[in-house]
Structure 1
Amino acid sequence: MAADTAPSLADVLRARGLRLTAQRQLVLEAVQRLGHATPEQVHQAVCATAAGVNITTIYRTLELLEGLGLVTHTHLSHGAPTYHVPGERSHLHLVCHRCGAIDEAPLSLMGPLAEQLLAERGFRLDIGHMALFGTCADCAEHPS
């Protein structure tokens, strides 16, 4: 859906019988602004605008926003999930083991693997929640 025709957060919440609160708006805006962010990073961004919002509110709001399809999460490390806004172009996450940089690649790269797993094992790969770990070009060029 194009950004200019996308329903607002208020419209999405109202359609589900929920209220638009300042915290919900701030959490969504923080995820949009940060790109890929853990709940702790979202919390820091929200608290820069509205001190006193606790981390529990952040987790609950992220869960609500994900249930509404406004954010999604991926596990990019052994720690907390990383949230981002699902866009028209879904993507794979490429995570550097050394520097922690996160890059994106098109999902189409995983198409042949997904098809092979389905054909040979009946396994349906959830590509949208996939992260691939390795070494980024910068770290490969400058090993310590």
Structure 2
Amino acid sequence: MSETSLPDILRSRGLRLTAQRQLVLEAVHQLGHATPEQLHTAVREVAAGVNITTIYRTLELLEDLGLVTHTHLSHGSPTYHPVGEDQHAHLVCRDCGAVIEIEHEVLAPLATDLAKERGFQLDIGHVALFGTCGDCGEAK
């Protein structure tokens, strides 16, 4: 869904479009992958009065509306990104912290096996695999 559909989605649920909701969604689209703290910093550049609690509540609402999703790329805060992006998984380097996106097709065989053998539906958009990137592996 595009960010321009936010007013219609909110109206259909009996909710109002607020400047904060629009700003948070725009920041998610602008930054691509961002923690609530990073989004807070971006939104505060435009609207200084927006607090971190508003960011968290808005992200929760936007996720409930199906406009954003999150994944955990570290032990810290979740990372949010727009739902409209192609579904992908993340490779996270434990040494340098690099995050590399991989196409969902890489995990498709695993998803198929899990569905067939265990009836489990894998949400690839929430998958983060931790290890060591090629650059850090070579440095060792």
**TM value normalised by structure 1:** 0.87
SS for the counterpart of 1:87 is coil
1:68 aligns with 2:54: no
Residue from 118, 122, 126 that aligns with 1:125:
122
Partner AA of 1:49 in structure 2: V
Residue from 38, 41, 51 that aligns with 2:48:
51
How big is each residue's C-alpha offset from its partner over 1:93-140, in whole Å with a ceiling of 9 and x where there is no partner? 111112212121111111111222233333332222111112223333
Give the aligned partner of residue 138 of structure 1.
135
For residues 85 and 127 of structure 2, the distance between their equivalents in structure 1, rounded to whole angstroms, comes to: 17
SS for the counterpart of 1:132 is strand
Give the aligned partner of residue 81 of structure 1.
78
Q: CA RMSD in A?
A: 1.8
Once the two structures are TM-superposed, the CA of residue 34 in structure 1 deviates from its matched residue by 0.9
Runs of 4+ in 1 over 6 A off after TM superposition: none
Residue from 24, 35, 38 that aligns with 1:38:
35
Once the two structures are TM-superposed, the CA of residue 90 in structure 1 deviates from its matched residue by 0.6
For residues 110 and 10 of structure 2, the distance between their equivalents in structure 1, rounded to whole angstroms, comes to: 37
State the aligned residue count: 140
SS for the counterpart of 1:49 is coil
How big is each residue's C-alpha offset from its partner over 1:37-65, in whole Å with a ceiling of 9 and x where there is no partner? 11111111111111121111000000000
Give the aligned partner of residue 14 of structure 2.
17
Partner AA of 1:31 in structure 2: V
* Seq. identity, %: 71
Q: Is the CA contact (8 Å cut-off) linking 2:87 and 2:124 kept in structure 1?
A: no
SS for the counterpart of 2:45 is helix
Partner AA of 1:139 in structure 2: C
